[in-house]
C-alpha cells in the first residue's frame, strides 16, 4: 500500500528531521507510530499521504512512486486514504455533516445519508450534525475528523493522535472503529504517544509498533 | 469536453461543489462592479465603432460615385464650353448621369462663406457639373484628356484628394473603437484575475483542506470559475442594459456626423447582447488561469 524507501526529510537547511526511513505498510496491516514530541510523527504521516515530498529516498503509494504522480493522481490517491489530522482542519462555513461527507462530495460521489447518520451516531455526534466546526469542542472535532476519514471506506487510514482530546471511553470506541476497519482489510497507521491505547489494542488486534527517535525508525516491542 | 459542453456544464453548475467554497465578500462586489462598468463602456465603444464604420462606408460609397467638373472660362465661352463638357460626358463610358448645377444650387454652396442672396449670375463664378458614375466607373485620365481637348477651361475633380483622408479617418475611428473594446475586455480580465487571486488567497485554508480530502485542482478551480463567471455575466448584463438605455436616449440626427450618429441601427441592436457573453467568457478564462496558477503555488 505505502512504502518508504530510504526516506529522509528536512525542513529548510536544518539538520534532517527524518533519515533513511524504510518501512512498508502492507495491505491489511495495523501499525502504531510512537515517539517523543517533535520526533517527526506528523511529518512521517505527511510523507505517507504526499503532503510533503521527501528530500531523499522515495515514497511509493499504491504501487506508484510519489514523485512520478501528477497533481490529479495525488488527489485520486488521497481519495483512497483517510487521514485524521492532529489539528482537525475543517471547512468552517459548512455544517459538521457536510464536513464529514466532504471526501465523497469532492469526488462527485453520492452521499448515502443512512451511512452518514450511522457514522455520526457511532462517534456520538448526531446532535451536532447541523453545527459549524468552530462550535465544537476539541474532542468532538477529533471524533468528527475520524468520521470524515473513514466516510469513504478508504484503503488506508492514517491517524495523527486521534485520541488526543477524548476521554478513555471514547478512545476505546475510536480504537474499536479502527480495528473494525482493519478487519475489513484496511491498512491502519496510528501515530500516538498514548501507550495505554497501544497496550489496550493488543486484545483486539495484532499491531506492529514503530518508534521514531533521533530521526530513525525502530521496531518497538518489549518496553511497551 | 467540447466548448459547448463545458459552457452548458458551467451554466448548469454544481450546487454541492459551489458550496465548498465559502461566500466571498469584496471580490464578489468587485467582479460585479467591474463587469458592469466595463460592459457599459463596451456598449459605447461598440456603438462608436459601428457608427464610424457606417460613416466610412457612406462617405466612401457616396463620394466614390460622384465627381465634379468645374468650368472656368470667359463669359462669352462659358455656355459653349459647358455644352461641350456635357456632350463629352454623354459619350463617356462609365458616366451614369451628368447635370449642370443651377444658379440657386451654386449660390447655396457659396452661402456659408459669402452669405445669402448672392447674385451668381453677375459674378464670374465657375460653372459646376455634377457627374454620377455607373458601378464600373470611368477612366479619370481618359476623361481629363478629352476635356482638355474639347473644353480647356474644364477641370475634373473626382474628390480623391479629400475623400481619401476622410474615409481613412473614419476607418481609423472604427479601428480605435474595436481597439477600445479589446482594451476594455483586457482590463476586465485583469481585474477579474486580481479578484479571483484575492479570493483564492483568502481561501488558502479551505483549498488545503479540499486538497487533503482528495479534491482535484479542476474541482476546486471549477467552483471558483463558476462563481466568477456568473458574477461577471450578471454584472455585464446590468452594464450592457444600462449602456443600451443610454444609447437609446442619445439625440438622434439624420446628418452624417460621428457624434450624432453614435448608436445602433436595425440588427445592430443585437450586437450589444454579445457583450455579457464575452464578459462571461473573459471571466471564465481569467479565473481559470488564476485558479490553476494559485493552486500550483498553494500546495
Assign residue A210 the CATH number of its domain: 3.40.50.300
Distance CA(B102)–CA(A106), nearest Å, equals: 84
Q: For residue A60, count CB atoms less than 10 angstroms from its CB and return exposed for 0-12, middle for 13-18, buried for 19 or more.
A: middle
ipTM of the complex: 0.84
Are residues B26 and B143 both part of a single domain? no
Closest CA to A25 of A7, A51, A38: A7
A191 φ/ψ angles, rounded to the nearest 5 degrees? -90, 125
**Mean local confidence (pLDDT), A19-44:** 90
* Least confident among A127-141, A180-194, B146-160, B269-283: B146-160
- Burial A128-156, CB ≥16 within 10 A → b, else e: bbeebbeebeebbbbbbbbbbbbbbebbb
Smallest CA–CA distance from A111 into chain B, residue: B16
Residues A88-132: tens digit of each pLDDT: 889 999 999 999 999 999 888 888 899 999 989 988 899 999 999
Cα A184 to the chain's mean position, in Å?
17
Q: Is residue B106 part of a domain?
A: yes
Q: Is residue B68 part of a domain?
A: no
Residues A48-77: tens digit of each pLDDT: 988 888 999 999 998 888 888 888 888 888
pLDDT class of A222 with cuts at 50, 70, 90: very low
Smallest CA–CA distance from B213 into chain A, residue: A103
Q: Is residue B188 part of a domain?
A: yes
- Quickly list DSSP for B83-110: HHHHHHHHTSTTEEEEEEPPHHHHHHHH
**Which candidate in B213, B216, B218, B298 is best for mutational testing of the A interface (most A CBs within 10 A)?**
B213
- Quickly list DSSP for A121-134: HHTT-GGGTTS-GG
The residues facing B231 across adjacent strands are none
Are residues B119 and B224 both part of a single domain? no
Long-range contacts, stretch B201-209, CB < 8 angstroms, 24+ apart: B201/B294, B202/B24, B202/B27, B203/B21, B203/B22, B203/B24, B204/B298, B205/A89, B206/A91, B206/B20, B206/B21, B206/B22, B207/B295, B207/B298, B207/B299, B208/A89, B208/B298, B208/B299, B209/A89, B209/A90, B209/A91, B209/A102
Helix, strand, coil percent values for chain A (each to nearest 5): 35, 25, 40
Q: Which run of H or of E encompasses B127?
A: strand B127-133
Q: Is residue A57 part of a domain?
A: yes
Where helices occur in A68-156 by DSSP H, the ranges are 71-78, 96-100, 102-106, 113-122, 138-150
In this complex, the residue of B20, B208, B215 whose CB is nearest that of residue A75 is B215
pLDDT score of B123 = 77
Residue A224 has pLDDT above 50, yes or no: no
Domain count along chain A: 1
Are residues B190 and B131 both part of a single domain? no
Question: What residues in chain B have their Cβ under 8 A from chain A's Cβ atoms?
Answer: 16-17, 19-20, 22-23, 205-206, 208-219, 295-296, 299
Q: In a 3-state reduction of DSSP, which class is residue A219?
A: strand
In this complex, the residue of A93, A106, A108 whose CB is nearest that of residue B213 is A106
Given phi > 0 = left and psi -120 to 50 = alpha, else beta, which region is A20? left
**Which candidate in A47, A48, A75, A157 is best for mutational testing of the B interface (most B CBs within 10 A)?**
A75
Distance to chain A for B216, nearest Cα, Å: 5
Q: Is residue A213 part of a domain?
A: yes
Q: Is residue A184 part of a domain?
A: yes
Residue B2 has pLDDT above 80, yes or no: no
Among candidate residues B152, B187, B219, the one where a domain is terminated: B152
Are residues B262 and B294 both part of a single domain? yes
Residue A177 has pLDDT above 90, yes or no: no
Q: Which domain holds residue A159?
A: 2-88+154-219
Q: Is residue B138 part of a domain?
A: yes
Are residues B173 and B131 both part of a single domain? no
Q: Is residue B272 part of a domain?
A: yes
Are residues B223 and B292 both part of a single domain? yes
Q: Is residue B66 part of a domain?
A: no
* B249: CB partners within 8 A, 6+ apart: none
Residue B273 has pLDDT above 80, yes or no: yes
Distance CA(B61)–CA(B69), nearest Å, equals: 19
Residues B19-40: tens digit of each pLDDT: 888 877 788 888 899 999 999 9
Q: Is residue A199 part of a domain?
A: yes
* Least confident among A127-131, A134-138, A162-166, B33-37: A162-166
Are residues B77 and B53 both part of a single domain? no
Closest CA to B284 of B209, B213, B229, B214: B229
A126 touches B: beta carbon within 8 Å = no
Q: Is residue A116 part of a domain?
A: no
Distance CA(B256)–CA(B242), nearest Å, equals: 26
Domain count along chain B: 2
Q: Is residue A138 part of a domain?
A: no
Do A80 and A62 touch, CB atoms closer than 8 A?
Answer: yes
Distance CA(A153)–CA(B181), nearest Å, equals: 53
Residue with cell 471558483: B224
Do A182 and A28 touch, CB atoms closer than 8 A?
Answer: yes
pLDDT score of B187 = 92
Q: Is residue B160 part of a domain?
A: no
In this complex, the residue of B16, B20, B211 whose CB is nearest that of residue A75 is B211
Distance to chain B for A220, nearest Cα, Å: 30
B138 φ/ψ angles, rounded to the nearest 5 degrees? -115, 170
Among candidate residues B152, B179, B196, the one where a domain is terminated: B152
Q: Is residue A108 part of a domain?
A: no
Are residues B189 and B147 both part of a single domain? no
Are residues B254 and B184 both part of a single domain? yes
> In this structure, what C-alpha cell is assigned to residue A224?
511497551
Q: Is residue A133 part of a domain?
A: no
Distance CA(B13)–CA(B7), nearest Å, equals: 10
Are residues B56 and B195 both part of a single domain? yes
A89 touches B: beta carbon within 8 Å = yes
Q: Which domain holds residue B79?
A: 73-152
Are residues B51 and B191 both part of a single domain? yes
Altogether, the residues listed in chain B come to a count of 299
B199 φ/ψ angles, rounded to the nearest 5 degrees? -65, -40
Residue A223 has pLDDT above 50, yes or no: no
Distance CA(B299)–CA(B294), nearest Å, equals: 9
Test B214 with A103 for CB contact under 8 angstroms.
Answer: yes
A76 touches B: beta carbon within 8 Å = yes
Are residues B259 and B117 both part of a single domain? no
Contact residues on chain A for B295, CB-CB shorter than 8 A: 71
In the DSSP assignment, the letter for residue A137 is -
Distinct helix (H) and strand (E) counts, chain B: 11, 4
- C-alpha distances out from residue A108 to A145, B16, B84, B102, Å: 20, 9, 89, 83
Test B20 with A105 for CB contact under 8 angstroms.
Answer: yes
Among candidate residues B106, B128, B152, the one where a domain is terminated: B152
Amino acid at each position: 500500500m505505502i512504502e518508504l524507501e530510504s526516506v529522509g526529510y528536512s525542513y529548510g537547511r536544518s539538520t534532517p528531521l527524518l533519515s533513511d526511513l524504510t518501512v512498508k505498510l502492507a495491505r491489511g496491516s495495523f501499525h502504531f507510530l510512537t515517539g517523543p514530541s517533535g520526533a517527526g510523527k506528523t511529518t512521517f504521516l505527511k510523507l505517507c499521504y504526499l503532503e510533503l515530498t521527501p528530500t531523499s529516498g522515495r515514497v511509493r503509494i499504491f504501487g506508484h512512486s510519489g514523485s512520478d504522480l501528477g497533481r490529479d493522481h495525488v488527489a485520486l490517491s488521497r481519495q483512497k486514504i483517510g487521514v485524521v489530522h492532529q489539528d482537525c482542519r475543517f471547512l468552517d462555513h459548512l455544517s459538521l455533516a457536510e464536513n464529514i461527507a466532504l471526501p465523497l462530495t469532492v469526488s462527485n460521489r453520492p452521499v448515502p445519508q443512512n451511512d452518514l447518520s450511522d457514522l455520526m451516531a457511532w462517534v456520538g455526534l448526531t446532535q451536532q450534525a447541523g453545527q459549524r466546526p468552530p462550535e465544537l469542542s476539541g474532542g468532538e472535532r477529533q471524533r468528527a475528523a475520524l468520521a470524515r476519514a473513514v466516510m469513504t471506506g478508504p484503503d488506508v487510514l492514517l491517524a495523527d493522535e486521534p485520541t488526543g482530546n477524548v476521554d478513555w471511553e471514547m478512545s476505546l470506541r475510536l480504537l474499536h472503529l479502527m480495528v473494525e476497519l482493519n478487519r475489513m482489510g484496511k491498512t491502519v497507521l496510528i501515530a500516538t504517544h498514548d501507550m495505554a491505547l497501544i497496550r489496550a489494542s493488543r486484545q483486539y488486534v495484532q499491531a506492529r509498533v514503530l518508534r521514531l527517535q533521533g530521526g530513525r525508525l525502530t521496531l518497538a516491542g518489549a518496553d511497551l | 469536453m467540447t466548448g459547448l459542453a463545458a459552457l452548458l456544464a458551467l451554466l448548469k453548475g454544481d450546487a454541492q461543489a459551489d458550496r465548498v467554497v465559502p461566500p466571498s465578500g469584496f471580490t464578489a462586489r468587485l467582479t460585479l462592479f467591474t463587469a458592469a462598468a466595463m460592459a457599459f463602456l463596451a456598449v459605447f465603444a461598440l456603438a462608436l465603432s459601428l457608427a464610424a464604420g457606417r460613416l466610412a462606408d457612406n462617405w466612401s460609397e457616396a463620394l466614390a460615385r460622384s465627381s465634379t467638373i468645374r468650368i472656368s472660362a470667359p463669359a462669352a465661352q462659358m455656355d459653349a464650353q459647358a455644352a461641350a463638357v456635357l456632350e463629352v460626358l454623354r459619350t463617356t463610358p462609365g458616366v451614369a448621369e451628368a447635370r449642370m448645377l443651377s444658379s440657386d444650387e451654386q449660390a447655396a454652396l457659396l452661402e456659408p462663406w459669402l452669405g445669402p442672396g448672392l447674385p451668381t449670375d453677375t459674378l464670374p463664378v465657375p460653372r459646376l457639373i455634377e457627374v454620377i458614375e455607373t458601378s464600373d466607373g470611368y477612366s479619370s485620365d481618359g476623361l481629363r484628356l478629352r476635356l482638355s481637348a474639347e473644353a480647356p477651361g474644364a477641370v475634373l475633380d473626382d474628390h480623391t484628394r479629400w475623400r481619401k483622408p476622410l474615409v481613412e479617418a473614419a476607418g481609423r475611428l472604427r479601428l480605435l473603437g474595436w481597439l477600445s473594446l479589446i482594451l476594455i475586455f483586457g482590463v476586465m480580465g485583469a481585474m477579474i484575475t486580481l479578484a479571483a487571486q484575492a479570493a483564492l488567497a483568502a481561501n488558502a485554508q479551505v483549498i488545503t483542506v479540499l486538497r487533503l480530502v482528495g479534491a482535484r485542482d479542476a474541482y476546486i478551480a471549477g467552483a471558483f470559475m463558476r462563481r466568477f463567471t456568473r458574477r461577471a455575466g450578471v454584472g455585464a448584463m446590468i452594464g450592457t442594459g444600462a449602456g443600451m438605455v443610454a444609447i437609446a436616449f442619445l439625440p438622434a440626427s439624420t446628418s452624417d456626423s460621428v457624434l450624432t450618429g453614435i448608436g445602433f441601427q436595425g440588427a445592430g441592436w443585437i450586437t450589444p447582447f454579445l457583450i455579457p457573453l464575452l464578459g462571461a467568457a473573459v471571466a471564465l478564462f481569467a479565473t481559470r488561469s488564476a485558479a490553476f496558477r494559485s493552486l500550483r503555488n498553494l500546495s
